[in-house]
């Protein structure tokens, strides 16, 4: 923010309001300065517009276990981004698993499809759950056909840790991971937010930013992780920098 925006934000804060930028935008994600030649969008559904807008020149690898989404993706994004589509799930090892697709209020919610089993509270909101047997591949295997550096987005409805477990090689050449991370109990045997942070730490990644922060009303949040060895974690203090600049 410039000085005028900062002063305005301070005035609003004194009156009980909080001003923040729209982080679910291509401009904001691009401003974070990540560089990636190939970006994997795992659990793509109908697309992730702010990610595509942030990296217009990247190669995209769209991965989705519901193969029906490919038609919509090619219609909406075929002339906008360069992408390959893989009709499969992603996990810790190659194989097959059951995908659970819920119906809520008469609508089949493919965006809520999961390879986890819903717990009792989450199941109470559904009127039915379709089960499909789908193939599973590891990201390490898929990524071998593409050039790095990589970027990774994961939205797999509670299966995110399994995705990371199968990506240890790929993550060594990964600039960022944008993950939808659960913050509520909704799956049998589901993880805690702290579990995901720990798994990312084991891979050398630390929390860098929230694109969609946790809130009391949300079941998940969108968090960006970056390699701790990167310059993203060098010391900086914006407030002290401004004070130093004004003192000169």
Distance, in Å, from the CA atom of 103 to the CA atom of 113, rounded to the nearest integer, reads 10
- Whole-angstrom distance between the N-terminal and C-terminal Cα of the chain? 21
Structural domains in the chain? Answer: 36-247 (3.40.50.150)
What is the per-residue DSSP string for 101-163? Answer: EEEETTEE-GGG-BSSPB-HHHHTT-SEEEEEEEEEE-HHHHHTTS-SSEEEEE--TT-HHHH
pLDDT score recorded for residue 225: 98
Q: What is the reported pTM?
A: 0.90
Please write the tens of the pLDDT for every residue from 106-128. 999 999 999 999 999 999 999 99
Residues (pLDDT < 50) of the chain are none
3-class SS of residue 238: helix
Both tokens of residue 44? Answer: 């793509």
185: left (phi over 0), alpha (psi -120 to 50) or beta: beta
**Helical (H) or strand (E) element with 59:** strand 59-63
What's 57's DSSP letter?
T
Q: If we measure between CA atoms, which residue out of 228, 146, 176, 143 comes closest to residue 33? A: 176
Decide the pairing of beta strands 150-154 and 38-42.
parallel
Strand order in the sheet with 59-63: 82-86, 59-63, 38-42, 150-154, 174-182, 220-227, 205-212
Sign of CA dihedral 195, 30, 148, 44: positive
pLDDT score recorded for residue 22: 87
pLDDT score recorded for residue 97: 96
Decide the pairing of beta strands 95-104 and 128-137.
antiparallel
């Amino acid at each position: 923010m410039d000085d005028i925006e900062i002063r305005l934000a301070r005035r609003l804060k004194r009156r009980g309001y909080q001003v923040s930028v729209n982080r679910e935008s291509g401009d904001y994600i691009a401003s974070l300065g990540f560089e990636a030649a190939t970006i994997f969008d795992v659990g793509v559904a109908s697309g992730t517009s702010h990610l595509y807008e942030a990296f217009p020149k990247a190669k995209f690898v769209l991965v989705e276990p519901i193969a029906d989404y490919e038609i919509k993706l090619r219609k909406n994004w075929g002339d906008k981004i360069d992408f390959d589509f893989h009709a499969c799930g992603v996990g810790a090892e190659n194989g097959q698993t059951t995908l659970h697709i819920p119906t809520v209020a008469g609508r089949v919610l493919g965006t809520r499809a999961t390879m986890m089993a819903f717990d009792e509270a989450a199941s109470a909101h559904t009127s039915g759950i379709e089960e499909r047997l789908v193939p599973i591949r590891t990201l390490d295997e898929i990524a071998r056909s593409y050039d790095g550096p990589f970027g990774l987005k994961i939205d797999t409805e509670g299966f995110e840790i399994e995705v990371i477990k199968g990506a240890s090689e790929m993550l060594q050449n990964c600039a960022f991971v944008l993950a939808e991370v659960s913050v509520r109990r909704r799956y049998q045997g589901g993880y805690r937010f702290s579990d995901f942070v720990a798994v990312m730490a084991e891979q050398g990644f630390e929390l860098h930013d929230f694109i969609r922060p946790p809130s009391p009303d949300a079941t998940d949040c969108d968090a960006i992780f970056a390699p701790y060895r990167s310059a993203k974690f060098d010391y900086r203090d914006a407030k002290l920098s401004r004070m130093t600049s004004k003192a000169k």
